[in-house]
Amino acid sequence: MPASQPRSRARDRNNVLNRAEFLSLNQPLKGNQEGRSSSRKQSGQAGAAGAQNTNPKERRQSQQLPEEDCMQLNPSFKGIAFNSLLAIDICMSKRLGVCANRASSWGGARSMINLLGITGHGIPWIAGTLICLVKSSTLAGQEVLMNLLLALLLDIMIVAGLQKLAKRKGPYDINPGLLDYLTMDTYAFPAGHASRVAMLSKFFLNHLVLAIPLRILLVLWALCVGFSRVMIGRHHITDVLSGFVFGYLQFRLVELIWMSSNTCQMLISIW
C-alpha cells in the first residue's frame, strides 16, 4: 500500500487533465445545467416583470406594428401617384435651379435673376402705390390705386397664412432675404412672387388701357418673375404654378370687394 500511494500520486501529477487550465473539463455537467436553468429562470422572471410593468397602451401599439408595416409596404394608388408626382417636382426643380448658388451652372447670372425677382416683391410695389396715391389728383386714379393697395395687402396676408399652414421648404437650403422676412415670405408654398405678379398683371390688364405689345410684355414679365424663383432655388415648380392660381383668385376677390370712389375718398381723408 505505501508503494502504491506514491505511484498514484505520480500518475495524478503526470495527468494533463489535472492541470489548472483543464480543471473545467473535469467538472460535472450537472452544475452547468443548473447554472443555465437558473439563468433562464431569472431571464424569464425579468421578462415577465418587464411585461407586467409595460403600459397597456404600449402593448397595444406593439401589437399594431405589423399592421402598420403592412400598410406602409402596400400603399394606396393615390399615395403612390402623389409620391411620384412629388418626386418628379423635386427632381425637376433641382435641375432648373441653375442659379441656386455661385457654383451652379448659371451662378454668374444669380445677381440679375435676383434683381428680376425684386421687381415682383411686395415692399417696392406697396411703396410705389403709396407714392402714386399721394401724387394722384383724379378720383378715378385714386380709386384704382386704393384698390391696388388693398390687393397688395391681401396678397401678403393670404400668402403668409398659406405658407404658415403648409410650411414647405424649398428645393435648396437658401435663407430668405430681408425683404422676404418683411413680407413674411419665408416658406416655399405657395410662391409669393408668383401670386403677386399674377394678380398685378391681371389687375393692370383689366383696369388700364394698354397697347397689345405692352400687354404681351406684362404677361411675359409675370412668367419670368415667377420662374426666376425656381432658378435661384427658392421654390419648386408646383409652388410657382400654385402661386399663379392664387394670384388670379386674389384678383377675383378684389373685384368682388371693389371699393367705390366715395369709400376711397373717405379712407384718404382719414389717412
To the query of whether residue 193 is one of the catalytic residues in this protein, the response is yes
Indicate which residue of 121, 207, 235, 236 is catalytic.
235
For residues 197 and 222, the answer to whether their CB atoms sit within 8 Å is: yes
| Long-range contact set of residues 258-265: C-beta below 8 Å, sequence gap at least 24 | 258/147, 259/143, 259/146, 259/147, 259/150, 260/143, 261/139, 261/140, 261/142, 261/143, 264/139, 264/142, 264/143, 264/146, 264/147, 265/139, 265/142
To the query of whether residue 207 is one of the catalytic residues in this protein, the response is no
What is the rounded distance in angstroms from the CA atom of residue 72 to the CA atom of residue 261? 59
C-alpha cell at 231: 432658378
Phi/psi at 82 (nearest 5 deg)? -65, -45
At 42, the amino acid letter reads Q
Q: Work out the number of other CB atoms within 10 angstroms of the CB of residue 119.
A: 14
What residues are labeled active site?
Answer: 193, 235
